[in-house]
Amino acid sequence: MEQSKVIVGLGSCGIAAGGNKVYDKIKSIKNSDNLDFILEKTSCIGMCYREPLVEVIDENGSWLYGAVDEKRAMEIVSQHLVNNSPVNEYLVRSDMFETPDDQFFKGQVKIALRDCGYINPERIEEYEARNGYEALKKIKSEEITPEAVIQSILDSGLRGRGGGGFSTGLKWRFARNSKSDEKYVICNADEGDPGAFMDRSLLEGDPHAVVEGMIIGAYAIGATGGVIYCRAEYPLAIHRLNIALRQAREKGYLGENIIGITGFSLDISVKEGAGAFVCGEETALMASIEGKRGMPAKRPPFPAVRGLWGKPTNINNVETYANVPWIINNGAAKYAAYGTEKSKGTKVFALTGKIARGGLVEVPMGITIRDIIYKLGGGITDNKRFKAVQLGGPSGGCIPEHLIDTPIDYDSVTATGAIMGSGGMVVMDETTCMVDMARFFLDFTQKESCGKCTFCRIGTKRMLEILTRICDGHGQEGDIESLQELAYQIKDSSLCGLGQTAPNPVLTTIRYFRDEYEAHIHDKKCPAKNCKQLLTYQIIPENCNGCTVCAKNCSVDAITGNRKEVHFIDQEKCIKCGICFTKCKFEAVLVY
């Protein structure tokens, strides 16, 4: 019988949840008791809501344990590994029987995430064992020309997964056709929305897939230099990327005459960015790589003609490159079989917010928002009502409940006023105030504006001031119209995608939740009971038994009343902190 194997998930999410402590505990027990099993590390498999995760692979199959702490780790070792008796109560997935968490994986198709959670990302041998670098070898052995590679990417229908959704094959062809002895490929790993969690997890869990995709892209366009632009706040991703690049050089996948392909030489380096959201825009990104301030430039010329250091450059994001080796290995037709007519393949989403099962999911294009939220995501937490989903990150839009059956494809999502973005999907329930949500996202984009364009720099600031005033109970007649007017001016006059999309959260919330704006402005009420300055707390006499708990916890002495007598809230003193509401055990405090 082969040795049992124990694999601990040590992506950023697993580490944050305590995965390192679990790994160290298992290692300590293994060494002290001289136990005979293999202990390995992997990265995130997407089930972030169950971290830390520990997988045991034995002669009977695979057993995945969730929410493992040091105590549970000891039980798993003593019962499963020593006594061959799995601890069923901690299992979230098994080859032997179904669990409720199996729904998280049903409906997913893993292409970009195919190796995440299955390999140790710091060992190139494990990547190679799962067809790693076989696409590059196939190009060599079958003498596939750069033009044929580009045609395969075109036939697959792969579109950029960074937000714009432009045809990857066309982008490569433009760069290929640009005449120059010096060209570059860049991987944009600096997107700043929730979808950047997806980029980080891919780099942490399968860096070689991205590197191989870049190598193939460089071969296709004729590039000799490559850069992975990754924000410095992702130290684990950068660490594993540098290991992967070193290993790729040692194996001959980078360097001179790569794997014997005459005349094809390439090296790739990592550039650590400062985390500016605007550097997700390709011209600002290139400026940052060149040591300049990250600010967008006018286009044309486009990077395919004049990019990094003035040379033709191709830029794709992490997920786009990760798809490329799979397409070369399996064929364009197989990739194109997933998805819809104009949106082929799969898409990775970072599912978060008021959702039961949050994490990374990879689904075929064309799946509905409903299926993602209720089948994979397990529905809304605390059985509350679904209200909206923010799709596309801070610059995306809010899609309301009545559009929950919208299919996930570029055209359908754009028609709602949202954008695909790089994969952020924030789920909201009935307790979410849509005006405050718009304010929250606009606050982010306003701070991240580089300031180059007047409309973006000043316009977003004016919009934020109006939204803040509305949420504070000082909204005025005409505020909605002012927001819309400013929004369209900013969209029409900004130079880059940040400014052009920054108003999306405001426009979509006005479009679908205008009644909430009107309630804030005209009635001075927040229907979601979220905006503190618009709330009123009042004691219900028939429910109050005079326990004095509310009065004792009121920091400003706004509540008066003797013991065993009905209490009273002085509205002029009340600072609307809500402590009385949360502390009362008799539902005697009404908030409206």
Strand partners, 344: 339
Q: Quote the domain boundaries for residue 557.
A: 536-591
Would the pLDDT of 193 be above 70? no
- Does residue 115 lie in a domain region? no
Tokens linked to 18: 């305590």
438-461: burial string, b at 16+ Cβ within 10 Å, e else? bbebbebbbebbbebbebbbebbe
For the domain that residue 551 is a member of, what is the CATH number?
3.30.70.20
Provide the number of structural domains found in the chain.
Answer: 5
> What's the confidence (pLDDT) of residue 421?
83
Would the pLDDT of 1 be above 70? no
- Does residue 314 lie in a domain region? yes
Would the pLDDT of 194 be above 60? no
> What's the confidence (pLDDT) of residue 96?
87
For the domain that residue 307 is a member of, what is the CATH number?
3.40.50.11540
- Does residue 62 lie in a domain region? yes
Residue 190 — very low, low, confident or very high, per pLDDT cuts 50/70/90?
confident
Query: What pTM did the predictor assign?
Result: 0.93
Please give the Cα distance from 73 to 22 (Å, whole number).
6
Whether residues 182 and 237 share a domain: the answer is yes
Please give the Cα distance from 274 to 285 (Å, whole number).
11
- Does residue 206 lie in a domain region? yes
- Does residue 341 lie in a domain region? no
Give per-residue pLDDT as tens, 390-408. 998 888 999 999 999 999 9
Whether residues 424 and 455 share a domain: the answer is no
Whether residues 141 and 289 share a domain: the answer is yes
Which of 408, 315, 413 has the alpha carbon at shortest distance from 362?
A: 408
Would the pLDDT of 163 be above 90? no
> What's the confidence (pLDDT) of residue 192?
55
303, 336, 369: which is the final residue of a domain? Answer: 336
Over range 254-268, report the average pLDDT: 96
Whether residues 265 and 164 share a domain: the answer is yes
488, 523, 558: which is the final residue of a domain? Answer: 523
Whether residues 194 and 325 share a domain: the answer is yes
Give per-residue pLDDT as tens, 309-329. 999 999 999 999 999 999 999
Please give the Cα distance from 404 to 366 (Å, whole number).
13
Place of tokens 């704006």: 517
Whether residues 200 and 325 share a domain: the answer is yes
> What's the confidence (pLDDT) of residue 196?
62
Tokens linked to 571: 């509205």
Whether residues 254 and 139 share a domain: the answer is yes
Phi, psi of 586 (to 5 degrees): -115, 15
Whether residues 152 and 269 share a domain: the answer is yes
Q: In what order do the strands lie in the sheet with 424-429?
A: 359-364, 346-353, 424-429, 386-391, 397-400
- Does residue 36 lie in a domain region? yes
Whether residues 133 and 240 share a domain: the answer is yes
Over range 79-95, report the average pLDDT: 94
Mean pLDDT of the chain: 95
Whether residues 323 and 257 share a domain: the answer is yes
- Does residue 112 lie in a domain region? no
SS3 content of the chain, % helix, strand, coil (to 5): 45, 15, 40
Over range 414-423, report the average pLDDT: 90
Give per-residue pLDDT as tens, 32-48. 999 999 999 999 999 99
397, 429, 461: which is the final residue of a domain? Answer: 429
For the domain that residue 425 is a member of, what is the CATH number?
3.10.20.600
For the domain that residue 460 is a member of, what is the CATH number?
1.20.1440.230
Cα 237 to Cα 121, 190, 201, 202, 357: the distances in Å are: 10, 12, 8, 8, 24
Whether residues 19 and 68 share a domain: the answer is yes
Whether residues 485 and 500 share a domain: the answer is yes
For 216-259, the three-class secondary structure string (H helix, E strand, C coil) is HHHHHHCCCEEEEEEECCCHHHHHHHHHHHHHHHHCCCCECCHH
High-pLDDT (> 70) share of the chain, %:
99
Over range 368-382, report the average pLDDT: 96
- Does residue 566 lie in a domain region? yes
